[in-house]
Structure 1
Amino acid sequence: MKLSLHEVAKAVGAKNQISEFDDVPLSQIEFDSRKIQAGDLFLPLKGVRDGHDFITTAFENGAVATFSEKELAGVPYIWVDDSLKAFQDLAAYYIEKMRVDVVAVTGSNGKTTTKDMIAAILATTYKTYKTQGNYNNEIGLPYTVLHMPEDTEKIVLEMGQDHLGDIHLLSEIAKPHIAVVTLIGEAHLEFFGSREKIAQGKMQIVDGMDSDGILIVPGDSIVDPYLPENQMVIRFGDGQELMVTELEERKDSLTFRTNVIDRQLTLPVPGKYNATNAMVASYVGKLLAVSDDDIADALENIELTRNRTEWKKAANGADILSDVYNANPTAMKLILETFSAIPNNEGGKKIAVLADMKELGEASVNLHNQMIMSLRPDVIDTLICYGKDIQDLSQLASQMFPIGKVYFFKKNEEEDRFDDLLSQIREVLGEHDQILLKGSNSMNLSAIVDALVEN
């Protein structure tokens, strides 16, 4: 961080006389005492354990100061009422101090991929930093901001939400100049109650923007009630200002055109939804004066965050389409469409392994059942369902698929074992086959993928 102890204390309104401590430069800020190195500032947060219990450890590991919600003796500290609030205030101050351009990205699906694409495009022209992994909440976003390199010119921040108001807080911290909403789906429906409430929460991304900011949103009418009156709004999708055309979808790549730039674009990932993500990322690049050549090169060589849609090889030679980090009805529908559209390997068949989608609330079983509309027995040979709420879908599918082509396995909630499921997959998976695995992260399908790759 390009900050000193006294500057931080002033920025967060310290309650104590910080002048009694030396105004030392600070290297980084860390809330995990095990990560503290010489010159760092410690942030004690309250969670399962109270971070204040680890202040001594932090100083032993090299911390030069700490935040604290209580008075301390014998060590340099910044006394505040709420360490997390001080952390967030400091991040907002740091963004303003560094005069960095902020691009914010949220959405029920595609936000991480779109963030990666925007960052890759901007990195061709500017010193660019982005949210690492899934650090997209009230702790992760300020952590990202305060860890950006000193020479950062553009920062791409992912914003997630579990409850209404989460995006409002993050936008107020980040003050984005460009904001992107990728899609309004059903993620966290259990906490919001309706897609309309989800849309309301996502659209709070504009709350920290100034009047010359630019908002990029899908053409979905569900966002209309929440569009700002005095903001430039660009919409994407069929019949909108930004559109994908001439899409060609293959097993592990896409080619397409868009009215954003006058050339064909190539992506080394499947899924027509990724063409939309890339189009939006390209438009952000154009807004920030990135050349068409640099945009095309960045997309052609994009490396996405691990565990999003990716192809892997099973040990027996079968192709695995792994999409196991996250799941909601919109995302599952899209990946089933993509999987069904990809040509079969010669002599091979298609197998779909679908697991529970979490946090859908009372509508969960019904939303799982709606996936029947995206299952094609003429294309998918075998369906394997895993979980609890997906059981009814397996029964519906049994009426569509040939006898013996639909299987259901209940998740063992007491012990995270899936021996029977894995055994069944291995029994039906041939060396020329393609297999899709899709479910919420908590269903641990990533372990199934790893097992198939290893053996």
Structure 2
Amino acid sequence: MISLTVKEIATAVGALNDTNKWSDQAIISVDFDTRKLVKGSLFVPLIGSNDGHNFILKAIENGARASLWSKPLKELPPEVENDFPIIQVKDTLKALQDLAKYYLAKVNPKVVGITGSNGKTTTKDMTDAVLSSQYRVHKTRGNFNNHIGLPITILEMPIDTEVVILEMGMSQVGEIKVLSDLAEPDVAIITMIGESHIEFFGSRAGIADAKMEISSGLKEDGVLIYPGEESLLQDRVAFLADKQLKTFGSSTKNDLYPLSIDAQMNQTSFTTNENPNLTISLPVLGTYNVNNALAALTAGMVLGISIEKSAPKLAQFQLTKNRTEWLSGLNGSSILNDAYNANPTAMKAVLDNFSTFKNKGKKIVVLGDMLELGEQTSELHLSVKDSLDPNQIDKVILYGDKMNVLYEALKETFNEENLFHFTGDKEPLIRFIKNEIGPEDYILLKSSLGTDLLSVVRALQM
């Protein structure tokens, strides 16, 4: 619950009208979705595919106590015009962002910003666990990580918050800069540079430039945490001579690196150079998640939390739903659901880990199209081939038109009875998998969210 008055809001957003009549009116929540409003909310009518201004009466019905408004006041419904606090602004989205910036300054927590091609949400969840060992922490919920979601996240922050963790997503150049300038991080984390959205940036170098935008709003004494072995970032941090830099990764040249890693089906354990005698456990699979944990632990150390103090909390952190989660499948099988997001780097990483698991049944992988790869779509889908070994994977099932190039390439290494390709309607795919899976089989499903293999996951669950 937040604590603002109409007067504060009007001042923060530069109200164009006189709101003195309602100056002391208390606001405890802010939202643009009328369905989520509670009594005492500020309604923010955004203009998108629908015009939020058209829902002002529904907002009042659902508990709004005041509303922003960017249209002429004469367009207000008659029942609203004189008896309800309206704060007129030029642009409701800009006003939302301005209000978030004001509220952030009012609460004055430490700000941790997180971006990267992959691992943002997992690193956010891990950083939450690390920092909550010492601080009252508020974090981005779900994927509220864009120009609307980030200010809403800030405006959901309890007044006693000591650290806020803000995930920052992007699909175009300049988007991270807007978020960083709004949030002004004390600590900024770049998880990795992959191929997500490469269609819009042309190359990994273009993606690296966009991710580096997180340093735009970094405070004067701020710290940038990044993977030290990423050459594209090494070249780009040189201009941050006035900022503190911390690196993580597998090389001993990094500030924080693992000395040993033990990856199991449901847990990954590792030790670090910071304390070689302390084994840190993660309740998730994947050696790639060690890097996410190293970034989170580094953020903790920057904010004064020792690894010894934060490790027990990290061992119990809760992963956001649909991120590499084991589920009970039909016929006694186990499903590894990682169908929320995909790029080639992430797909190869999870395949490499999945391939090492030991089980009594079959190991089956179901891979769907990876989206927004632009002119490199075929090349990047084909790059997954080397992570599919017929000596470790029993069956490969591909879905989507873009996977055809990988399907053709895998004919060189997989027998035809172990390699399949589906497109279009998913029902034949679902029926086929149901007939294939048996007791103690492991099934990995990985794809971009837009490919919707999540519907297949649901159909295969027990």
When normalised by structure 2's length, the TM-score is 0.94
Bigger mean CA offset, 18-27 vs 296-305: 18-27
Residue 352 (structure 1) aligned with residue 365 (structure 2): yes
User: Where does residue 133 of structure 1 map in the other structure?
Assistant: 142
User: Where does residue 46 of structure 2 map in the other structure?
Assistant: 45
Shift of 1:275: 1.0
User: Where does residue 283 of structure 1 map in the other structure?
Assistant: 298
User: Where does residue 260 of structure 1 map in the other structure?
Assistant: 274
Bigger mean CA offset, 163-172 vs 64-73: 64-73
Any idea what SS the aligned residue of 1:245 has? strand
Residue 346 (structure 2) aligned to one of 312, 326, 331: 331
Encode CA deviations 1:278-316: one digit per residue, 9 max, x unaligned: 111112112222243431111111110000011112121
Any idea what SS the aligned residue of 2:141 has? coil
User: Where does residue 399 of structure 1 map in the other structure?
Assistant: 412
Shift of 1:324: 0.6
Residue 222 (structure 1) aligned with residue 237 (structure 2): no
User: Where does residue 236 of structure 1 map in the other structure?
Assistant: 248
Counterpart residue identity of residue 385, structure 1: L
Alignment of 1:56-455 (within 5 A): 56-72=57-73, 73-74=81-82, 75-219=84-228, 220-227=230-237, 228-237=240-249, 238=251, 239-262=253-276, 263-343=278-358, 345-346=359-360, 348-410=361-423, 412=424, 417-454=425-462
Counterpart residue identity of residue 271, structure 2: R
CA distance in 2, matches of 1:137, 1:38: 26
CA distance in 1, matches of 2:438, 2:64: 55
Quick one: percent identity of the two aligned structures?
44
User: Where does residue 78 of structure 2 map in the other structure?
Assistant: none
User: Where does residue 15 of structure 1 map in the other structure?
Assistant: 16
8 Å CA contact 2:226, 2:295 repeated in 1: no
Encode CA deviations 1:348-377: one digit per residue, 9 max, x unaligned: 221111000011112111110111111111
Counterpart residue identity of residue 120, structure 1: A
Counterpart residue identity of residue 381, structure 2: H
Shift of 1:264: 0.9
8 Å CA contact 2:365, 2:443 repeated in 1: yes
RMSD: 1.3
Shift of 1:20: 3.6
Change (3 A) 1:261 1:154: farther
CA distance in 1, matches of 2:39, 2:181: 31
Give ranges in structure 2 of 5+ residues lacking alignment: 74-80
Bigger mean CA offset, 239-248 vs 199-208: 239-248
CA distance in 2, matches of 1:81, 1:259: 53
Shift of 1:60: 2.4
Counterpart residue identity of residue 25, structure 2: V
Shift of 1:71: 3.2
CA distance in 2, matches of 1:22, 1:214: 39
Any idea what SS the aligned residue of 2:330 has? coil
Shift of 1:37: 2.2
8 Å CA contact 2:246, 2:298 repeated in 1: no
Give ranges in structure 1 of 5+ residues lacking alignment: none
Any idea what SS the aligned residue of 1:316 has? helix
Encode CA deviations 1:93-118: one digit per residue, 9 max, x unaligned: 11111111001111001110000001
CA distance in 2, matches of 1:36, 1:336: 42
8 Å CA contact 2:247, 2:256 repeated in 1: yes
Shift of 1:13: 1.0
Shift of 1:267: 1.0
Change (3 A) 1:71 1:21: farther
Encode CA deviations 1:198-249: one digit per residue, 9 max, x unaligned: 1111111011112210000112011134312211111222232221221111
CA distance in 1, matches of 2:234, 2:95: 35
CA distance in 1, matches of 2:351, 2:161: 39
8 Å CA contact 1:355, 1:386 repeated in 2: yes
Shift of 1:449: 1.4
Shift of 1:35: 2.1
CA distance in 1, matches of 2:397, 2:330: 20
Shift of 1:403: 2.9
User: Where does residue 76 of structure 2 map in the other structure?
Assistant: none
